[in-house]
Chain A
């Protein structure tokens, strides 16, 4: 029988808290991380958002400072990965850095026009257009040399690898929720093939910027709109290991990742809507791998709320797989509490799911992307 993939550690940063305990308490009390934000990291924002707590961006004790590039993703990931790593006891385990893998879904670090605005201001000609000579002679010096590095999506992963000494197989995928599930799957494959003894996998959200994707939406001052359109910040990390080796080193676990599924469906219409089919296929594949029937699932954490276009398709797919009595009812929407976490969405849900009550023994988590990629993950509660 195949060696199960167990979760020996989990870590989290999101609007609900800077670590798993804090976020879990907030979740249990129904507190939401969504609020109307006037300013974020010294910049005016004025919209509904669920930003990560400022404390999560504080520098860690480590000398290599995840804050180096001014990229919050590096700080969240280092923090959540460190939490998961310590909870899994990897600091005491005889697992070498070279045998530890690191796979992450990664949102966009974004870019701030401020980084270049001063340079541009100094480079305008009499007609108000950017003059390249002036830019290269004077304006250029206003831009930090670290700017480009901060724009690379993979830097957060690299800084985390440096911080924890993780040198094994790695992959960084972008930028939506499905990327986080892919990270988990590729990590599992690495272990199944004997190329890693343990893997840290999960996802990191995009960074909220005034000139990010949200800027073109009307600057929102109304009551909060659809939760899926509210940006959230955060990161979820799982430590995954083969159950045999976890047992051997005395690591405890409470959950197993038993199946993952993937599909892509370009937008379309009608009965044979490709996106709806993609959701159905992804869920089917995850259940198959887990060796479960739809009736075995106690809880579904969907990708998005109903009533937006893409979600109607997910809702239809859920009905197709689970029938009319889809196991969703009466469960608080996580997206309403954390905002849309892009590449971290599925990972954060999975981390919180490891804490949920016994009656939610088998949980299916969906992840989608506006582009049409769909993924599904099955998490089962099992004690070591």
Chain B
């Protein structure tokens, strides 16, 4: 698939969105920066940052965290236990999803700990995942002619139709389905 938008551009725009939302210089924002722990971001900030990314690139980031989707797909209590703590399965899931960043997670930890997983890097990855769902051909005219004027918004060079990406929440659900299959887990029918 074509990828007219590269990771460097996403990082630039994300830094800009974070800097604006949190009123901090862009230079203080690094890929490893964890928004809650290092920048004291509050929930409003996440909403604000996501909105700005969505406006910039024309896509839709996930509204719900992966664990919420997991509870829906795999059943209540599968990843968050009765005391609002992570289950063993949650730890496995998060390690597969977030890699090294999740290395310190353990079963029995409070749900609040997962907020430390949201870093600049993880947000860039999430955005790139969405951008990679750009279809081969334009759904309207069938041509493979995606192009971008500003390096952010993609449109069909042939008919002008704006690119439509898979939404972040749907991508999360697809990832979970594959995870469930890999681990032979039973899923609830929607």
Contact = CB atoms under 8 A, between A and B. Distances in A.
Contact of A64 (B23, B48, B51, B60): B23
Contact of B23 (A59, A141, A149): A59
A268 interface: no
A65 interface: yes
B162 to A, nearest CB: 10
Given A145-B48, A145-B51, A146-B48, A63 B24 contact: yes
A63 B19 CA distance: 11
Contact of A146 (B22, B44, B55): B44
A132 interface: no
Contacts of A68: 23
B23 A145 contact: no
A144 interface: yes
A142 B55 CA distance: 7
Interface in A35-90: 59, 63-65, 68
A122 to B, nearest CB: 11
A141 B60 contact: yes
Interface string A136-147: 000001101110
B29 to A, nearest CB: 14
B117 to A, nearest CB: 22
A64 B55 CA distance: 23
Task: Classify chain B: how many residues form its interface, as a range.
Answer: 10 to 19
B44 A141 contact: no
Contacts of B48: 144-146
A65 B20 CA distance: 10
A65 B60 CA distance: 27
B51 A144 contact: yes
Contacts of A59: 23
A141 B60 CA distance: 8
Given A141-B54, A144-B51, A65 B44 contact: no
A63 B51 contact: no
Interface string B155-186: 00000000000000000000000000000000
Nearest to B50: A145
Nearest to B24: A63
Interface string B39-56: 000001001100100110
A146 B47 CA distance: 8
A63 B23 CA distance: 6
Nearest to A60: B23
B159 to A, nearest CB: 18
Interface in A150-165: none
Interface in B11-63: 22-24, 44, 47-48, 51, 54-55, 60
Nearest to A65: B23
A146 B55 CA distance: 14
A68 B44 CA distance: 11
A65 B44 CA distance: 14
Nearest to B58: A141
Contacts of B60: 141
B43 to A, nearest CB: 10
- Chain A CB within 10 Å, residue with most, of B22, B24, B47, B51: B51
A63 B55 CA distance: 25
Contacts of A65: 23
- Chain B CB within 10 Å, residue with most, of A59, A63, A145: A145
Nearest to A64: B23
Contacts of B44: 145-146, 149
A72 B23 CA distance: 17
Nearest to B59: A141
A141 B55 CA distance: 8
A315 to B, nearest CB: 48
A232 to B, nearest CB: 29
A59 B24 CA distance: 12
Contacts of A146: 44, 47-48, 51
Interface of B: 22-24, 44, 47-48, 51, 54-55, 60
22 contacts: A59-B23, A63-B22, A63-B23, A63-B24, A64-B23, A65-B23, A68-B23, A141-B54, A141-B55, A141-B60, A142-B55, A144-B48, A144-B51, A145-B44, A145-B47, A145-B48, A145-B51, A146-B44, A146-B47, A146-B48, A146-B51, A149-B44
Given A63-B23, A145-B44, A149-B44, 7 more contacts: A63-B22, A63-B24, A65-B23, A144-B51, A146-B44, A146-B47, A146-B48
8 pairs of A and B residues whose beta carbons are closest in the complex: A65-B23, A145-B47, A145-B51, A63-B23, A144-B51, A141-B54, A146-B48, A145-B48
